[in-house]
Amino acid sequence: MKSLRHYLSVALLSARLSVQSCFEYPAAFIGWLISNPIQFLVAFATIRFVVMEFNDLAGWDYKQLAFLYGVSILSHGLSVIFFSKTWWMGYQIIHGELDRLRLRPMNTLFQFLLGELNIFGITDLIPGIILFIYGCCAVDFRWTLYNTFCMICTVIGATFLRGGIYLILGSLTFWSKSPMHISGFMQEIFNRTNMYPLTMYPRVVQIIFTFVLPVSWVCFYPATEFLGKDSMITLPYGMPFITLAIGILLFAISCRVFRAGFTQYESAGS
Amino acid sequence: MPVIEVNHLVKQFKTVKKEKGLKGAVKGLFKAEKKIVTAVNDISFSIEKGEIVGYIGPNGAGKSTTVKMMSGILSPTSGEILINGISPEKDRKSVVKQLGVVFGQRTQLYWDLRLGESFELLRRIYNVDDDTFNRNMKMMDDILNISSIIDTPVRQLSLGQRMRGDLAAAMLHSPDVLFLDEPTIGLDVDAKHAIRRFIKEINAERQTTVILTTHDLGDIQELCKRIIIINNGVIVEDGSLDDIAERIAPYRQLIVEFYSEHEIPHPKAEIIKSEGAQTVYRFRKDEITAAELMSDIGKQAKIKDIRLEEANIDDIIRIAYNSNS
């Protein structure tokens, strides 16, 4: 309990310092704030165009697609704030910049993830929130107690799911000794795949994104339940909880991978 | 009980052998030849509370690797390290609570924020109570004049100021042991002086054990009663500077100036230079004293002036470095 309070107080102070660091570069922040939402707007315009041409995509109309995308981008924004440092951790490993984490009497992964938040991720989160609200309004999402709970499980699960995969990919540098930077690519896979209903893809692709690389759990499967759509897997209810479970499981695995990787850590000369 | 015990410590790194040119690079992609490099090869030493130990050696000798293993950053390939009886590999958190570590080439401070914020964060991390924190800050202020830079963002500090900040940050939780990896690298004379004074004072006032790696022989002469010299991953010397000098360079030089040109040989001293009226004798301390030599020579010719020189520390260190390469 005491140690939990200790960790919490360090996390809060670190978060405050991250915000303060961000304020040191206001011009950069504004630049991101203007440029970052554009990519989501363009993606949205694409959806709109596609639906106008084909009326629907695998049975999903424009409003439902807006909802799907909104849920996806909300968890994207959160994962950028908490996990985007894993995208360039390869460089830190090669340049020996993780030494500091070992020198302090706290959990290494805790310090790595929460010691410095990427406050610039707010420029992803803001469009995420706007798209999410827009999508919920479009499908007239009913905020009952149960639905709200399911939505929270989905968003938290999706954030951990994304973060867990980023952390696993980032940790591979511990072994490869050369930064791979595949997480940026992974982020594209997450966001592109979840723009469209999984059911429009060939069955092989559906199986891959469901069981091998579980990207469709980020929002597609929970959305099928919220909207009453069909998919490869039909469950009466519980999709959001599966998303949460997969998210937590992947995150737990990624913690193990990170820890195992650190035994291979070699720092850097002098 | 010693504060630090290192027994048969070994650290090996796997590296891939690179071949020349583009052809070699392409070949390396398919058939990588692994090579094991031994950075630290079976070293042992123990350090008592309150010692200041200079841990020196040429570049690439294994100094930083040893410090990184002692501070829990790297795991040893084999062998054992105990800090106050605890192994950093097994119980890192307990060990690092008692350690302060400063790497001269790399800051531990928050780059974008005022120095004080880094202290505040460290205070939280180490759970330092108000009394201790204020007392330590006051002491750091007295020795390092921290209050003049505490409101400056770290990125705007000069190298010397930043190093002062790093040292203060390492001392906030009153550690028993301080590892300093090249703390005076790149600093001007004044800044070096401040850092040396800091090391002396915390050692005197708090009995802090200090292990210092450096290439600055001034640091060693001024601070270290004991030096450990490592080369190619092996300890080649361990003792006081005087003892080491005695063993590997037990010579002194007597420079004698006569009134006119003389060359007077002596059975126990070697003439290494004779120029005009000046003659340089080299002799071993254990064979003859300077006074005896002087009086023997003085019987044969009138001496105008004399000067006595000890073996130069640069030469001693260089001999030690070359003894195992």
CATH number at residue B183: 3.40.50.300
B204 and B306 belong to one structural domain = no
Taking all residues of chain B, what is their mean pLDDT, rounded to a whole number? 90
Q: Which of B184, B219, B245 is the last residue of a domain?
A: B245
Domain housing B307: 251-322
Mean pLDDT score, B174-195? 92
Mean pLDDT score, A134-144? 93
Q: Tell me how close the Cα of B119 comes to any Cα of chain A, in angstroms.
A: 12
E strands in B157-301: 177-181, 209-213, 226-231, 234-239, 251-258, 269-275, 278-284
Q: Which of B212, B230, B245 is the last residue of a domain?
A: B245
The pLDDT tens digits for B76-124 are: 999 999 999 999 999 999 999 999 999 988 888 988 899 999 999 999 9
Point out the least confidently predicted range of A5-9, A78-82, B191-195: B191-195
| Residue B66 is assigned to a structural domain of this protein | yes
> Looking at residue A269, what is its pLDDT?
66
A13 vs B contacts (CB less than 8 Å)? 120-121, 124
| Residue B26 is assigned to a structural domain of this protein | no
Percent of chain A clearing pLDDT 90 (strictly above): 64
| Residue B33 is assigned to a structural domain of this protein | no
Taking an 8 Å cut-off on Cβ atoms, the answer to whether A24 and B112 are in contact is: yes
Mean pLDDT score, A214-243? 89
In which band, very low, low, confident or very high, does the pLDDT at B324 lie, cut at 50, 70 and 90? Answer: low
> Looking at residue A150, what is its pLDDT?
95
B95 and B118 belong to one structural domain = yes
B106 vs A contacts (CB less than 8 Å)? 96-97, 99
Of B11, B5, B183, whose CA–CA distance to B103 is shortest? B183
B32 vs A contacts (CB less than 8 Å)? none
B164 and B241 belong to one structural domain = yes
CB B273 within 8 A of CB B222: no
B241 and B256 belong to one structural domain = no
B203 and B314 belong to one structural domain = no
Which residues of chain A have a Cβ shorter than 8 Å from any chain B Cβ? 6, 9-10, 13-14, 17, 20-21, 24-25, 96-97, 99-100, 102-106, 263, 265-267, 269-270
Task: Using CB atoms, pick whichever of A14, A17, A270 lies closest to residue B64.
Answer: A270
B228 and B284 belong to one structural domain = no
B114 and B193 belong to one structural domain = yes
B115 and B212 belong to one structural domain = yes
Q: pLDDT at residue B248 above 90?
A: no
B255 and B239 belong to one structural domain = no
- How many structural domains compose chain B? 2
Task: Using CB atoms, pick whichever of A20, A25, A100 lies closest to residue B113.
Answer: A20
| Residue B117 is assigned to a structural domain of this protein | yes
In which band, very low, low, confident or very high, does the pLDDT at A178 lie, cut at 50, 70 and 90? Answer: confident
Q: pLDDT at residue B325 above 60?
A: no
> Which two structure tokens, joined as six digits, stand for B5?
């015990």
Closest Cα in chain A to B76: A263
* Most confident segment among A53-67, A248-262, B30-44, B244-258: A248-262
> Looking at residue A270, what is its pLDDT?
53
Mean pLDDT score, B191-197? 91
Exposure string of A81-108, with b = 16+ CB inside 10 Å and e = fewer, is: bbbbbbbebbebbeebebbbbbbbbbbb
Taking an 8 Å cut-off on Cβ atoms, the answer to whether B64 and A21 are in contact is: no
Please tell me the distance from the alpha carbon of residue B88 to that of residue B101, in angstroms, as a whole number. Answer: 14
ipTM: 0.87
B99 and B164 belong to one structural domain = yes
B199 and B228 belong to one structural domain = yes
B153 vs A contacts (CB less than 8 Å)? 24
Q: What's the pTM?
A: 0.87
B234 and B263 belong to one structural domain = no
Helices and strands, counts by H and E, chain B: 11, 13
| Residue B261 is assigned to a structural domain of this protein | yes
Pick among B73, B107, B178, B180 to test the A interface (most A CBs inside 10 A)? B73
Q: pLDDT at residue B318 above 60?
A: yes
Domain boundaries, chain A: 25-262
Q: Which of B204, B224, B245 is the last residue of a domain?
A: B245
| Residue B25 is assigned to a structural domain of this protein | no
In which band, very low, low, confident or very high, does the pLDDT at A177 lie, cut at 50, 70 and 90? Answer: confident
Task: Using CB atoms, pick whichever of A25, A102, A265 lies closest to residue B92.
Answer: A102
